Each structure stands twice: as structure tokens, then as C-alpha cells.
Chains A and B, each alone.
Chain A
């Protein structure tokens, strides 16, 4: 039995402690906003916040989450999160949308750490998130727009 906090709620899971957190979140706990893309921490579609830091849940064993705070796209609440999602929607960043939960989780974590990121900061924080529709130009613009709102 492993206990951790998911989006503020205490959850107990009876599963193989080696199970990647991604599959616990999706299959055991039924939250499907977090996506599977590669299984080897290359694409970022599975990005969640682990104690506030972006991590690839496909490569994080359940055991590592014991006693920790995990946030998924469903649990986003911060000011930075609201600004990011608002910018994403108003600028129509998405295309197929499959990677966008992970993109947003990485973008929110960036802005929570650094409310005024440069292009280089954005590259550093977002280069682990692949988008095959190549929405990158809008992702960059939306992060700047969210930053402007947060620092206004």
C-alpha cells in the first residue's frame, strides 16, 4: 500500500510499487488528463508536478511518490496555472491537443519559479515536451502572455 497526495487528496494505492506513477494516475485513480506518449521520459506528455516540480510520471515509480504531493492537470489551481490556461485558450495553442496537458504542466511549473522567463528560459523548461503538431511558436507566445498577466 502506497499513500500520497494527489491534487490535495490523500490516496492509497495497492499496486506493484515499481508501477510508473502515470499508470497509477490513469488506470487506478481514473484521472486521464495526464497522457502516455513514450514511456521513457522523452516526450513529456505525462508531465505532473512532484512537490511542485515538473516530472515525467511515466518514469517515476509509485514508490517514489510515497508521502509526496502530486499535482496533475486536473488539480491545477495556482495563479500561474490560471494565467497559462487562459493564454492557451485565447491564443488557440492546441491542435491535436494530446501533448498539451504536459506542455501546460511544464509551463506552469516554469512560471511558478520564474514569472518573467526569457526565450532561453522557455527553451530550457519546455524542451522536454514534444509536440508533433509543432505548436511551439504559440506555446512560446502563450507563456509570454501568461507571464505578462502575472507580472502586470
Chain B
């Protein structure tokens, strides 16, 4: 199995020797991983070392390619090689913005393409040096690297112009892709590409003073992909065209833990357009000339499954088990103060609550898919390769080929929210299995239907939290007891060795511990049972549940203490000016102190996640049938230097909508190993009529930029629940909100 190896076994063999563009080494990773946790404080790499042309594809003669990220052609196009995956959050535009800023390229001359699989050149030091996108790290880990890369190229173009014009380099200026010199001399980047390519790469380059930025921090810098995505020309995996391309769907186990006993393909093979029916580890693949015949063929299969090991029994049974485990206590200690028991005894009153969180599907718009083509002794794949390091190794393994015979073509994807980054590389591997099983050198796309995608597991796990807080006579918290029960996301991955410390999966407890709040005399424990359902990170990971518990408990404690929820929080924040800052900003912009119309209430919540600070104030009313209506959400975000302010706004808007969908409706319920929900009719998501008005306020900052893809999610559900509690007196202990009928007090 692939679930117990340390990451070291997974990384390409050559990474030990790699001291190049990323400075990443396998040994270095393990050392830093052990020291620094999931988000690793590895020194930011510089893109200085020369790279082999073969690593980045063929660089035509005359092109200027000073590093692995920039290629300038004589026709004056500036091509940026984007090392991060684009699933909608705008990483492509963000990285290009930073590169173009230091290069002083004109935004209109910028083109992008996605990097090949090569962790030595394109690794992400914030995910242990593996090549991959996740944890809202795309901008954070690339900021200095892209600045250096752009500045290096600029310096070389300037040097080439200085040589040509025989003037000192410091007499030259660069603006919008044009270098200007004394006496009205002008040259485009393209004109200088050939000459610049012959110059040595400088080892030290000056970076711009941020006050001189013309693209970074400017709302006028727009997305690079809006046109293609607004005209139907953007190419996703489902759109890949290759000669003779076949489409496959897989008949998958009807329950987690089910095994195929036998199947009869006769009727399936009789469907017009079906070319192959083959058994693969994932089930039985029906291969056809198109999606419809493949689906019809799958319907015609006769399948016999062994269901004797199907599980889990049911969602409700799991919650009962988890609550029993939480009540019994025990598990591993996350944090414990010696005086916890003594302090709890002193409490004038205690507040206790047990919270339940369901399994959640990612339900990205483009169901999982991948194209695989085995031909001439090589494998090529086209797909949403969010973690190329995993996908490359596992595709090679599935094809039984060495990694240098495997080429990944990374395409944009129709959303991910965590789903496409998984250490099983499930949808890549299944495509390779099918390509191999048909025993012909023909490309095949394995396309999951919505039901395949939604019923396939890899969910945000189900969790139970049990919390008991003791308040002193002065109404301040004295002791905090907290236990979390739920599957570890990291345990079944190769990151387990590095990222689970003393039995604690940080991604389960992040937000409870560590927390910006000064928690008095904590006693925090964790229990991580296993299930037949594979767990996976889901946009904002542990913060999806820890944020809800902490921020609704803050309100509950404030109410018990007879204090304003904002003031109560601020009193528990020591030396946390940025966290306090977003809370105050959101409150101020929302009119926290102003009265609201009858039938409406405000709730506030904040979460520090992925190094960014986000606070939200939600204004909520009730529909006639007792359903929450979120009317307005005011967001304050502090993510350091805002590289693309309008994209930060977009991520906050999107984070609010994504979080609200889950808060209102999101749950996958399981019965005898089978998920009940399979499509958008049963797994309801947010629609336009339910979208609140979202206002976003960005804190001006000179701090290094951090991420925004995930941090917009965590505060929304608790902010809404806090508003509902104010409106109805009802405290939400179980999500989604659709399980509760609310009544105005």
C-alpha cells in the first residue's frame, strides 16, 4: 500500500542532489518538516542556478530564458512558466503579476504556461519542497522567488541594451516592456532577447522599492484568463482532443469496502460505440467512442459485489461512537496546563457544548477526470495535476515505467477545493490503469460522472468536538477543556511521518491549538479513529470545524459573561494586533454598534488560517419557514502585501459563498457504506438567490504576502450561527443549518 511510506520514498531520486533553483533537498525537507510543521519555514529559494533546457522544454535559439520561469522570444512575447496549479483562485495571474512587476513587462505581452513535473525546479518549499499547490501557499512561497526571477531577467536585458548602445546601465530605464536610453534610444525586450541570452546570469540583483510598484497592489491588474473563460475557449481536461481519443467510465464499488466478485460484460459490449470493457483496480471500465455510449455500456454491465466488508454502517452510528469517545475522554494530549484541574474547580460556572460536523464533498464543477496515453514506451497524461510530484510518481508506478518516461501536461481545472491534491492521485492513476488495460497505444479519458465524483469518498471528515470552559467570578475564562474526535487527514498520506507529531495531526487541531486567543489553563486532547472512507483536506482544512467551535463558543462565553462578543474576544487577544485589527475593522465597517431593523441580527467571527487574518460580520434574517437568510457579509482581511487586490476581494466573496453552501446544506450521509447524496439535487449547494451581499476591506500592509484561497471560508459559518443565536436564542451544535428550524425570539 501507499499509505505508510515517508515522503522521502516518493520523491524523485535526483532530489538529494538538487541544490538548484529551489535549494530543496530530500534530507533538507525531512529535517525542516520535523522542525516546522505543515507550513514549513524553509528559506525562500532563489532562481539563480542554470537549468537544463530539457527540464523546461525546448527553448528555441534566440529566445532569452534566464531562469526556469521566464522566456522572452524575439517576437516580443514574454512567456511565464507558472509553477502553480490554476483551479480558479488566480495563482496564474498572481505569479505573473509579480514576475511582470520586477521585469517591467507590459501586461499585454504576458503569456503563461504551466510547468512540467520537476520538483527540483518548481517545488514549493511550503509543502516540503514537493511540487504542488495547496494550503494557500502559491503567492506566499513564490513572492521572493518570482521577484528575483523577474529582476534577474530585467537586469540582463538592461545589460544587453547597455552593451548595444555603449552607455552605462544606470542611464537606462525600463517601462512596459521597453528599455529606453539617452538620446531617445528604445528597444523592446524581444529585440534584446538574443543578446541578453548570451550574458552571464547575475548573482545579485536589486529588487524594486514597493513604492515603485505599477502592477502589484493595483486593482487595474486584471486576470489573464477572463477572456478564454468567458468565450468557451479555455481548455479543461474534459476538453482535451487527441487523435483516436476514447472515453471511459468506471463501474465503481457501490459501497466503501465493497469488492468485485465477478462481472458479465456481454450486454455492455453490445452497446454501439463501446470498444472495450476491462477490469481495473478501481472497478470495471467501459471504454467507448464517447461519453454517452460509455455510460450506456456501464448501465448494461452485470456486476456482482461482495458487500460483507462495506462500511461505515451509518453517519448516525459514527456520531454516536464519536460522542461516546469524546465523553469517555482520553486520546493524545495536544496541550495541557498542569493547573488545569485546579483552575476548572475554581470556576464559578461552566459552559459545555458538544458539536457535530458531517462529511463534506468538494463537488468541484468539473468532475474528476484525466487523459492517459501509453505509446512508444512512454506515458503522457493530461489533467488537473495539482500535486505533480505525487501524480508523476504514481502515474509512473501505475504504468510500470521509469519517471523519465512519463510526461504530465497540467491543465486548468474546474475547481478543486482540495479534491485534486491527494496523495493517492486517484483520478490520474485510474486513467493510467485503463490506458494500460486496453493494451493499445490509444489515448483514453476516464471521466467521472457527478455521482462517481460525489460518492467516491475523499471527504472532509466527520468530527465531534466536546468543549467545557470554566468562567471565574470575574466572568473571565479560567480553564479550557476541549476534545476533538475525527479521522486524521494526514495519517493515510506519505506526509504522516513528517507532519504527525506525538500522535497529533496538526490539521485536525489547527485553530483550537495553536490559537491567537490566550486560552486559560488548557487541556486539549485528540482522538483519531479510522474509517473505510478516505479523508481529505477541504478548503481551509481543520479550520472548517475548529473555527466554528471556537468562534461560536466565544459568543456563548461572552453571553454568559454578559459582555459584547467583540469586546470579549479582544480581551483574550494579547499581542495579536493583526487578529484584533481585522475584528475591529470588520465590526466598524459593518456598523457593529448601530441598531438593525427588527428581525435581523449580526454575528461576528474571525479566524487566523494559512498565515492570513480574516474577520467577518454576517447580517442574518429568517425566512417565513424558519430558514436562515444571510443578507450581508462584511469581510476584513489582512494577508500582507495585497498582490492582486481585486483577486483578494474575489477570493473573499467566493470563500463566503462556498462556506455558506456547506453551512446551510452540506452533508454526505452514509448508510451501510453508501453515500446517500450523489448529485446536486441531494447535495444542495449555494445558488445566486442565496448569495449575500459581500463587502471586502483589505488591510494595507507591508508584510510578506500570505494566502487568500482558503482563509475566507472559516469565519462565515460561526458568524452566521452567532447571528442566529442572537436572533433566535438557539445555539447551533450541528451543521448543516438545514437540520435546525429556527424561530424568532
Contacts and interface: CB of A to CB of B under 8 A. Distances in A.
Interface in A99-149: 99-101, 104, 122-123, 126-127, 129-140
Contacts of B231: 33, 73, 85
Interface in B653-684: 653-658, 660-661, 679-681
B680 A134 contact: no
A36 B688 contact: no
A130 to B, nearest CB: 6
- Of A26, A89, A93, A134, chain B has the most CB atoms within 10 Å of the CB of A134
Interface in A35-89: 35-40, 42-43, 45, 72-74, 85, 88-89
- Of A96, A133, A138, chain B has the most CB atoms within 10 Å of the CB of A96
Interface residues of B, number: 65
B322 interface: no
A99 B686 CA distance: 14
B691 A137 contact: yes
A72 B367 CA distance: 21
Interface in B243-300: 247, 272, 289-293, 296
B87 A96 contact: yes
Contacts of B686: 130, 134, 136
Given A26-B291, A122-B688, A127-B689, A43 B680 contact: yes
B230 A95 contact: no
A134 B654 contact: yes
Contact of A40 (B232, B292, B681): B681
Given A137-B694, A138-B653, A42 B90 contact: no
B239 interface: yes
B31 interface: no
A136 B660 CA distance: 13
B366 interface: yes
A1 to B, nearest CB: 14
Given A92-B646, A94-B229, A137 B653 contact: yes
A89 B226 contact: yes
Nearest to B417: A132
Interface stretch (B157-165, B407-415, B458-466): B407-415
A98 B657 contact: no
Contacts of A73: 231-232
A30 B241 contact: yes
A90 B247 CA distance: 36
Interface in B197-253: 222-223, 225-236, 238-239, 241, 247
Contacts, number: 181
Nearest to B364: A132
Contacts of B365: 35, 37, 43, 45, 96, 98-99, 130-133
B94 to A, nearest CB: 13
Given A132-B415, A134-B656, A134-B691, A93 B230 contact: yes
Contacts of A40: 450, 679-681
Contacts of A36: 238, 291, 367, 447
Contact of A16 (B236, B292, B364): B292
B653 A88 contact: no
Contacts of A89: 226-227, 230
B650 A138 contact: yes
Nearest to B288: A27
B88 A97 contact: yes
B366 A95 contact: no
Contact of B239 (A32, A42, A72): A32
Contacts of B658: 132-134
A98 to B, nearest CB: 3
A37 B450 contact: yes
B688 A140 contact: yes
A25 to B, nearest CB: 11
A121 to B, nearest CB: 11
B232 A101 contact: yes
A97 B365 CA distance: 9
Contact of B657 (A20, A42, A72, A136): A136
Nearest to B657: A134
Contact of B226 (A28, A34, A88, A126): A88
A127 B656 CA distance: 18
B694 A35 contact: no
B232 A132 contact: no
B397 interface: no
A19 interface: yes
Contacts of B222: 90, 92
- Of A43, A72, A127, chain B has the most CB atoms within 10 Å of the CB of A43
B236 A98 contact: yes
Nearest to A72: B232
Contacts of B290: 23, 27-28
B707 to A, nearest CB: 15
Contact of B88 (A15, A27, A95): A95
Given A19-B292, A135-B654, A94 B236 contact: no
Interface in B61-112: 87-90
B471 interface: no
Interface string B421-452: 00000000000000000000000000101100
Nearest to B241: A30
Contact of A97 (B225, B647, B657, B660): B225
A139 B229 CA distance: 13
A69 B366 CA distance: 27
B226 A94 contact: yes
A115 B414 CA distance: 30
A72 B447 CA distance: 22
Contacts of A130: 365, 680, 685-687
Nearest to A33: B232
B230 A85 contact: yes
A72 B691 CA distance: 27
A27 B449 contact: no
A94 B653 contact: no
Given A89-B226, A126-B688, A134-B661, A27 B232 contact: no
- Of A36, A97, A99, chain B has the most CB atoms within 10 Å of the CB of A97
A94 B86 CA distance: 12
A82 to B, nearest CB: 11
A22 B687 CA distance: 22
Contact of B289 (A27, A100, A127): A27
A25 B688 CA distance: 27
A-B pairs, top 5 by smallest CB distance, nearest first, are A134-B657, A33-B232, A98-B414, A96-B88, A97-B229
Interface of A: 15-16, 19-20, 23, 26-28, 30-40, 42-43, 45, 72-74, 85, 88-90, 92-101, 104, 122-123, 126-127, 129-140
18 contacts: A35-B238, A37-B365, A42-B680, A43-B450, A85-B231, A89-B226, A89-B227, A92-B222, A94-B226, A95-B89, A99-B365, A123-B689, A127-B687, A133-B654, A134-B657, A134-B658, A134-B691, A135-B657
